[in-house]
């Protein structure tokens, strides 16, 4: 809401500067976002008359104008389409400074000299209008009663015509303060904040009551949607341009001038927050007004020229035959006030906020009127607003006189009365404020207060937001100023913070990924359906229960991700496009799965990680490192698996089990699922190129996905300490031939099972199949360490253990010891 | 066993080749000390010392040291091991001489080994270009929003706040009705909402967590609610349809705005520095009453929006004249919200606050575009 300071001063006696007003409003909850100045001193800008307009020889869109600037004829190049001979215009002469700081110099535009500039309203800081040169006759040529007035001679400074600059505050009005959408409401806040008083004119205007004479045909069919309606016919109206003062008021609040009557309804809307509507009385069948719900199939062409189909959710104003306006939203085109109108019907009504909101929503329309009705117009302000309109109408259209009128009210609104305890104020604000002080603050806001403790407080009709005692506490706190509230140091209050096992686990999961050299990504939770299906299939869910948005912004964001993989692949593709050689990213986030009707989706906390590109951030070949060394190569299957294994170890997943796994999207034979002792925890492997192409990725990508909540049972336990052996370990190498189908894990299990407690470690160091291996066999070679906690093992003891291991490997895996 | 001292000739003659200079300043006094005892060990020590001090290389040094002091066959070690066979008088003089010799020879061996090793390293130091890059592992970077979140949660942990998690896909009642957003109320317009099939919605703020927490727990409560929130908005440089908030909630018997103010200012000073200037102003949120917003003064113009001195006098270029910027929203928990979870507003009161991680990260790091946070460009992520 724009608040022009001169308009404010019409209502409140005020000594304060505009910055003090702005600060006071901000500190009372009406945030002032900016202060702008409309108009200015305009040094060097004068009233001028266009004598002749001809085409610019070198540019179709430009004109060459001969202009009388008062001090002789000038040649000016102009780009505005509306310039014409005879027009009275603002001319910025050479040396003039415009409000934006632009200094006018003599210049050549496309080869033609320009001795000045004709200005638009925006260039002059008069309004946002930049559609053409200001037509001074249209803007300033109407007198008080609409009669034409002569404009000053060419060469007169423009400032003399425009008057003093207008300072306007841009106020952010809270949703719960409909009164703030009118100058009167803001004036009341300023008055209370700065100790000002209503002006005499303000008091008169607020006390004025227009009384409608009772002979207009008015029916409230939907009294719930419209409990109050005042219809007042006015005859002898002459429609014409608005006088300067009225245009200036509308410019101040950012409204375009239309004609004197419409401008006046807008003036009252912005002043009182009460929307008014003027119908052309001659175009109302009856003439009569019926306030009712729209009937199915009814249509109306609204003032914006659009034809709209109505439904019974919409409250309409109808005449004898048809809807003529959408109640509280917009008027109809057929009954619009036009240049030929001589009699009008003024509507001043109170509509139910929810009804207007539903109507506006169903028609996807939002107007200055609907905005105010939705939030709640002051139900008692109608008569004063009507009186104000009629008073001003008599000024701008002399001879206009009220004719038939009627007001209908479906019941009287009760005054809301609340009590306010001093103790409640102290309890919520944290400082004792006496009943007298509270009463003073409330009275300054025109609440009717009866002394005592508790105070009895009658809430004024324009404050629908105040319904509880605590709302009054806020009024008192606001009035006193939040900066007057003391500051209490944070107290313990017997509550201490606890970090849950899950929080610690998630933090460890992140840390363990960062330690592997993967950076953390935060990706979109919303993905396309295609992405969701492809990534769900990776995790074995070929027909996922997706959580779909009903109002997505785009196809790229239409479902909630079933896991974070799609986001990581998007990030991967983005970085590759930007020239990244390697992409190593992980994310911890929810994956969503729809459940039964009414139930919230399942949100599974997951960690997903991708790795692609070189294994090292930097490596170069030199004599100690051959070019074929893995450090220079892209991360391979085992390089990636090593990362995930190290992560699992850091997460204390006890001997994770890896099983071959196949699902759409993985590279065949290069994926696995991972299980802990108790449950399935994740998936790992290389992605297939056809899947990657869905994200325009052409390089190999390794993926790892873990269900973080599945780790809880295993990773949570506190490890028991064991004493490290003090006696030197004995190292031995053993190699076995095993049938090709036997897995490493199976052989290790057999070996470990037979070894007993002296086997400290068993590490694979070679896998080989080829020359020298028997048909259908492969060779696996292990480095073993034996250690006794309390003594040195003898050669004999070690040989016995090795023998047991060899026998078990042979029995369980068909392994034969490879002699050297 | 004999008390006869070992002789010079028990050691090879070529041990004498070494330069006596390397034996150090104490050599003469050591010989004198051995002579003074009349034990006759000086000759042996002289050659042994020279042999160690002048060993030509590490291998020779090791061999000589073993010959003298080796655990199994060292000749000095051997004599020490059999001291017990001597008479008491012999044991005294011989034992003293042997222990001195052992100590000095050990010392000499250590010095010589150090000298030889240093010489060897110096010789093998070739033309290593120290500016060549190393073989470097990757470094993982925590996301900048994660870093801010960690810092804030740590701070609130210190003030006694535990983390409470609640769903991202939420029931309308928790997102709106139980937070005192009446149906068909314009306040909902500020929360452009994404809806999902089945009638639920993507939470538009983290505040639904308060309701869930209060339904589950009894006061006193001190909780923080970090998480992702959603608004159905067109994405541009300053708007994102997904962003992140942390809400805080404190409910107890007598919590007031003074407590809220103390907590908020401590928070602001912690993240923005002790000198930060703040102001608390009223604002409307349906779920608090009274409602408040904490603003932070622009560090350049101190909240005035203008620069009054110097060449740059005029509108402050940093805050563009605004003077203050919004840091967070807050207020006293609305009595309707307390009632909706079965708390009695006459028995308990509470304050709450909420802030956006993106806003803090952008202000602190000068990040110009909100879209960068979810784009995950490595060149961006690796800056933090
Ligand atoms: Zn500033």
Please give the pLDDT value at position B84. 83
DSSP code for B275: T
Is the domain of B336 the same as that of B252?
yes
Asked whether residue A766 is marked as a ligand-binding residue, the answer is no
Same domain, B320 and B198: yes
What residues have CB less than 8 Å from B298, skipping those under 6 apart? Answer: B305, B316, B318, B319, B322, B323, B324, B325
- Alpha carbon distance A811, A809 (integer Å): 6
Determine which of A477, A522, A581, A587 to mutate to test the interface with B (most B C-beta atoms within 10 Å). Answer: A522
Distance CA B314, CA B308 (A): 6
B30/B159 same-domain check? no
Length of chain B: 384
Q: Give the burial class of A189: count Cβ atoms within 10 A of its Cβ; 0-12 exposed, 13-18 middle, 19 or more buried.
A: buried
Rg value, chain A, Cα? 41
Which CATH number is associated with domain A208-409? 3.50.40.10
Angle between helices A637-650 and A501-515 (to 10 degrees): 150
Backbone torsions φ then ψ of A401, nearest 5 degrees: -140, 135
Within 10 angstroms of residue A68's Cβ, the number of other Cβ atoms is 18
Q: Please name the residues between 67 and 126 in chain B that touch chain A, using a CB distance below 8 Å.
A: none
- Closest of A348, A367, A362 to residue A275, by C-alpha: A348
Q: What is the mean pLDDT of each run of 10 residues along chain A (820 residues)?
A: 94 91 94 85 85 84 86 85 87 84 83 85 81 84 78 84 87 93 96 93 91 84 92 92 90 90 95 95 91 92 91 92 93 92 94 91 90 93 94 91 89 88 95 94 95 93 94 95 91 83 93 97 97 95 94 94 97 96 96 93 96 89 61 85 94 87 92 86 95 94 94 65 84 93 94 92 92 90 92 91 94 88
Taking the alpha carbons at both ends of chain B, their separation in whole angstroms is 76
User: Are B207 and B317 within one domain?
Assistant: yes
The per-residue pLDDT for A580 is 93
Look at residue B262 and tell me if it is in a domain.
yes
In Å, how far is A365's CA from the nearest CA of chain B?
A: 13
Does residue B57 lie within any of the structural domains?
Answer: yes
**CATH 3.40.50.300 matches A730-817:** no
Name the domain boundary from B125, B159, B192: B125
**Token pair of B36 as six digits:** 């003074």
User: Do residues A162 and A90 touch, judged by C-beta distance below 8 A?
Assistant: no
Distance, in Å, from the CA atom of B194 to the CA atom of A606, rounded to the nearest integer, reads 23
CATH for A417-484, options being 3.40.1080.20, 3.30.56.10, 3.40.50.300, 1.10.645.10? 3.30.56.10
Distance CA B244, CA B230 (A): 9
Which of B97, B125, B153 lies at the terminal end of a domain, its last residue? B125
- Residue finishing a domain among B125, B158, B185: B125
pLDDT of residue A98: 82
Architecture of the domain defined by A45-162:
Beta Barrel (2.40)
Q: Which structure tokens are listed for A434?
A: 């006496």
**SS3 annotation, A84-108:** CCCCEEEEEECCCECCCCCECCCEE
Residue B170 contacts A, CB cutoff 8 Å: yes
Spatial distance between the Cα atoms of B362 and B277, rounded to a whole number of angstroms:
19
| Nearest chain B Cα distance for residue A411, angstroms | 24
The total of other beta-carbon atoms located within 10 Å of residue A188's CB is 25
- Residue in this structure with the two tokens 């803001």, named with its chain if needed: A186
- The answer to whether the CB of A519 falls within 8 A of the CB of B381 is yes
Rounded CA separation B306/B314 (Å)? 6
**Matching CATH topology for A2-38+166-206 and A417-484?**
yes
Nearest CA-CA partner of A265 in A249, A284, A286, A283: A249
Both B151 and B110 in a single domain? Answer: no
Alpha helices in A218-287 (DSSP H): 244-252, 260-272
Q: Are residues B260 and B361 in the same domain?
A: yes
Q: What pLDDT score was predicted for residue A725?
A: 78
- Is-contact A234 A403, C-beta < 8 A? yes
Cα distance between residue A729 and residue B380, in whole Å: 49
A733 is in an annotated binding site: no
List the domain range (segments joined by +) for residue B37.
Answer: 8-125
Give the per-residue pLDDT at A103. Answer: 86
Residue B121 located in a structural domain: yes
- Best CA proximity match to B271, nearest among B149, B146, B145, B152: B152
Q: How many Cα atoms are found within 13 Å in the side-chain-facing hemisphere of B27?
A: 17
Q: CB-CB: which of B196, B374, B381 is closest to A549?
A: B196
- Taking residue A102's Cβ as centre, other Cβ atoms within 10 Å add up to 13
* Residue A14 CA to ligand 1 centre (angstroms): 28
Total domain count for chain B?
2
Nearest to A600 among B169, B189, B378 (CB): B169
Enumerate the domain spans of chain A.
2-38+166-206, 45-162, 208-409, 417-484, 501-716, 730-817
CA of A591 to the centre of ligand 1 (A): 43
Best residue of B126, B132, B134, B135 to probe chain A, by most A CBs closer than 10 Å: B135
Q: How many CB atoms lie within 10 A of CB A596?
A: 7
Measured CA to CA, the distance from residue B223 to residue A602 in angstroms comes to 23
| Low pLDDT (below 70) residues in chain B | 1-3, 18-21, 37-39, 126-127, 311-312
User: Is the CB of residue B357 less than 8 Å from the CB of residue B375?
Assistant: no
Residues B38 and B156 in one domain: no
Distance, CA of A193 to CA of A524 (rounded, Å): 46
β-strand pairing of A777-786 with A730-739 = antiparallel
Round to whole Å and give the CA distance between A796 and A817: 18
Residue B183 has φ and ψ, to the nearest 5°, of -60, 150
With respect to CATH, is domain A2-38+166-206 assigned 3.20.20.370? no
Contact across the interface for A499 and B230, Cβ inside 8 Å: no
- Name the one residue in this structure whose structure tokens are 């028997």: A774
CA of B361 relative to ligand 1 center, distance in Å = 18
Q: Cα torsion at B231, B237, B243, B246 (round to 10°)?
A: -120
**Least Cα separation, residue B69 to chain A (angstroms):** 25
Integer angstrom CA distances of residue A637 from A214, A571, A629, A670: 91, 21, 15, 8
A672 CB-near residues (< 8 Å, 6+ apart): A658, A659, A660, A661, A683, A684, A685
The CATH architecture of the domain made up of A501-716 is 2-Layer Sandwich (3.30)
pTM of the model: 0.84
**Residue A412, annotated as binding a ligand:** no
The reported pLDDT for the residue numbered A656 is 86
Residue corresponding to tokens 């009385």: A281
Token code pair at residue A65: 């104008």
Model-level ipTM above the cut of 0.95: no
By CB neighbour count within 10 A (0-12 exposed, 13-18 middle, 19+ buried), where does A252 fall?
A: buried
Distance from CA of A603 to the nearest CA of B (A): 7
Q: Would you tell me how many other CB atoms lie within 10 Å of the CB of residue A791? A: 10
Q: Which residue has the tokens 């201490």?
A: A496
Q: How far is it, in rounded angstroms, from Cα B187 to Cα A652? A: 49
pLDDT at B236: 87
> Any binding-site annotation on A465?
yes
């Amino acid at each position: 809401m724009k608040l022009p300071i001169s308009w404010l001063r019409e209502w409140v006696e005020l000594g304060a500067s505009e910055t003090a007003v702005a600060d006071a409003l901000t500190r009372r909850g009406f945030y002032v976002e900016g202060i702008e100045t409309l108009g200015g001193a305009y040094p060097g800008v004068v009233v001028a008359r266009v004598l002749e307009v001809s085409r610019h020889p070198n540019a179709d869109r430009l004109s060459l104008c001969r202009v009388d600037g008062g001090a002789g004829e000038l040649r000016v190049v102009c780009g505005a389409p509306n310039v014409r001979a005879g027009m009275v215009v603002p001319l910025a002469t050479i040396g003039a400074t415009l409000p934006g700081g632009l200094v006018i110099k003599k210049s050549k535009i496309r080869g033609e000299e320009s001795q000045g500039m004709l200005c638009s309203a925006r260039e002059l800081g008069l309004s946002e209008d930049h559609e053409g040169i200001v037509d001074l006759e249209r803007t300033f040529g109407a007198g008080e009663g609409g009669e034409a007035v002569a404009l000053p001679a060419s060469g007169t400074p423009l400032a003399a015509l425009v008057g003093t600059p207008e300072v306007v505050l841009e106020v952010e009005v809270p949703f719960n303060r409909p009164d703030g959408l009118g100058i009167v409401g803001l004036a009341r806040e300023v008055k209370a904040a700065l100790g000002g008083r209503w002006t005499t004119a303000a008091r008169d205007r607020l006390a004025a009551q227009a009384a409608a004479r009772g002979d207009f045909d008015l029916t409230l069919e939907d009294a719930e949607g419209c409990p109050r309606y005042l219809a007042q016919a006015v005859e002898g109206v002459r429609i014409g341009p608005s006088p300067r003062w009225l245009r200036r008021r509308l410019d101040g609040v950012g409204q375009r001038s239309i004609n004197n009557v419409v401008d006046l309804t807008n003036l009252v809307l912005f002043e009182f927050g009460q929307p008014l509507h003027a119908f052309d009385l001659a175009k109302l069948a009856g003439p009569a007004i019926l306030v009712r719900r729209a009937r199915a199939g009814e249509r109306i062409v609204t003032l914006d020229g659009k034809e709209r189909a109505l439904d019974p959710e919409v409250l309409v104003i109808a005449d004898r035959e048809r809807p003529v306006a959408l109640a509280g939203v917009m008027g109809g085109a057929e009954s619009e006030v036009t240049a030929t109108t001589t009699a009008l019907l003024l509507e001043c009504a109170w509509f139910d906020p929810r009804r207007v909101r539903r109507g506006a929503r169903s028609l996807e329309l939002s107007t200055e009127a609907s905005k105010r009705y939705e939030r709640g117009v002051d139900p008692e302000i109608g008569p004063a607003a009507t009186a104000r309109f009629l008073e001003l109408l008599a000024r701008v259209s002399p001879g206009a006189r009220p004719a038939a009128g009627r007001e209908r009210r479906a019941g009287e609104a009760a005054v809301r009365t609340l009590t306010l305890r001093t103790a409640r104020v102290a309890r919520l604000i944290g400082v004792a404020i006496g009943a007298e002080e509270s009463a003073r603050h409330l009275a300054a806001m025109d609440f009717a207060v009866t002394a005592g403790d508790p105070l009895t407080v009658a809430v004024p009709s324009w404050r629908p937001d105040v319904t509880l005692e605590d709302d009054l506490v806020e009024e008192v706190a606001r009035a006193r100023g939040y900066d007057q509230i003391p500051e209490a140091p944070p107290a313990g209050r017997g509550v201490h913070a606890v970090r849950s096992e899950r929080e610690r686990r998630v933090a460890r999961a992140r840390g363990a990924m960062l330690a592997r050299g993967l950076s953390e990504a935060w990706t979109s939770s919303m993905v396309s359906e295609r992405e969701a299906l492809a990534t769900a299939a990776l995790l074995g869910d070929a027909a996922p229960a997706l959580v779909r948005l009903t109002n997505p912004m785009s196809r790229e964001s239409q479902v909630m991700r079933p896991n974070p993989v799609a986001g990581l692949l998007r990030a991967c593709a983005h970085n590759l496009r930007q020239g990244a050689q390697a992409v190593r990213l992980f994310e911890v986030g929810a994956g969503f799965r729809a459940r039964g009707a009414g139930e919230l989706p399942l949100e599974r906390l997951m960690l997903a990680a991708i790795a692609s590109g070189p294994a090292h951030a930097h490596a170069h070949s030199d004599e100690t490192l051959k070019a074929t060394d893995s450090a220079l190569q892209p991360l391979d299957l085992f390089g990636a698996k090593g990362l995930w294994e190290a992560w699992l170890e850091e997460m204390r997943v006890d001997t994770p089990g890896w099983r071959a796994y196949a699902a759409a999207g993985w590279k065949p034979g290069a994926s696995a699922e991972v299980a802990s002792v108790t449950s399935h925890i994740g998936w790992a492997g290389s992605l297939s190129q056809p899947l990657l192409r869905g994200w325009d990725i052409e390089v190999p990508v390794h993926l790892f996905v873990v269900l973080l909540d599945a780790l809880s049972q295993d990773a949570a336990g506190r490890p028991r300490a064991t004493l490290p052996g003090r006696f030197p370990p004995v190292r031995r190498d053993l190699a076995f031939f095993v049938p090709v189908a036997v897995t490493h894990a199976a052989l290790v299990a057999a070996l470990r099972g037979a070894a007993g407690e002296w086997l400290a470690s068993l590490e694979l160091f070679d896998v080989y199949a080829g020359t020298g291996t028997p048909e259908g066999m492969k060779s696996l070679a292990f480095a073993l360490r034996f250690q006794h906690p309390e003594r040195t093992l003898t050669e004999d003891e070690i040989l016995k253990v090795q023998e047991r291991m060899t026998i078990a490997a042979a029995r369980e895996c068909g392994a034969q010891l490879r002699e050297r | 066993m004999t008390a006869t001292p070992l002789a010079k000739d028990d050691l090879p003659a070529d041990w004498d080749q070494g330069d006596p200079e390397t034996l150090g300043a104490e050599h003469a006094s050591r010989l004198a000390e051995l002579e003074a005892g009349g034990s006759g060990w000086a000759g042996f020590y002289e050659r042994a010392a020279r042999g160690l001090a002048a060993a030509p290389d590490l291998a020779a040094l090791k061999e000589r040291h073993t010959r003298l002091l080796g655990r199994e066959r060292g000749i000095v070690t051997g004599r020490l091991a059999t001291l017990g066979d001597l008479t008491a008088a012999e044991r005294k003089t011989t034992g003293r001489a042997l222990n001195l010799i052992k100590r000095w020879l050990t010392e000499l061996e250590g010095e010589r080994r150090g000298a030889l090793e240093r010489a060897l390293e110096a010789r093998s130091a070739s033309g290593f270009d120290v500016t060549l890059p190393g073989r470097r592992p990757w470094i993982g970077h925590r996301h900048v929003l994660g870093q801010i979140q960690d810092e804030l949660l740590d701070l609130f942990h210190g003030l006694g706040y535990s983390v409470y998690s609640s769903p991202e896909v939420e029931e309308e009642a928790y997102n709106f009705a139980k937070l005192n957003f009446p149906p068909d109320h314009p306040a909902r317009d500020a929360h452009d909402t994404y809806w999902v099939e089945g009638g639920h919605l993507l939470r538009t703020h983290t505040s639904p967590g308060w309701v869930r927490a209060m339904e589950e727990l009894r006061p006193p409560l001190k909780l923080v609610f970090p998480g992702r929130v959603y608004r159905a908005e067109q994405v541009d440089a300053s708007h994102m349809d997904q962003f992140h908030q942390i809400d805080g909630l404190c409910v107890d018997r007598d919590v007031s705005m003074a407590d809220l103010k103390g907590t908020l200012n401590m928070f602001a000073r912690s993240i923005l520095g002790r000198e930060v200037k703040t102001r608390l102003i009223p604002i409307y949120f349906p779920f608090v009453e009274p409602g408040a917003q904490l603003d932070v003064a622009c560090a350049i113009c101190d909240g005035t929006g203008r620069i009054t001195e110097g060449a740059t006098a005029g509108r402050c270029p940093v805050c563009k004249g605004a003077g203050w910027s919004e840091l967070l929203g807050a207020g006293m928990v609305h009595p309707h919200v307390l009632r909706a979870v079965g708390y009695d507003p006459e028995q308990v009161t509470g304050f709450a606050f909420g802030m956006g991680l993106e806003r803090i990260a952008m202000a602190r790091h000068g990040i110009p575009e909100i879209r960068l946070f979810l784009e995950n460009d490595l060149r961006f992520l690796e800056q933090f």
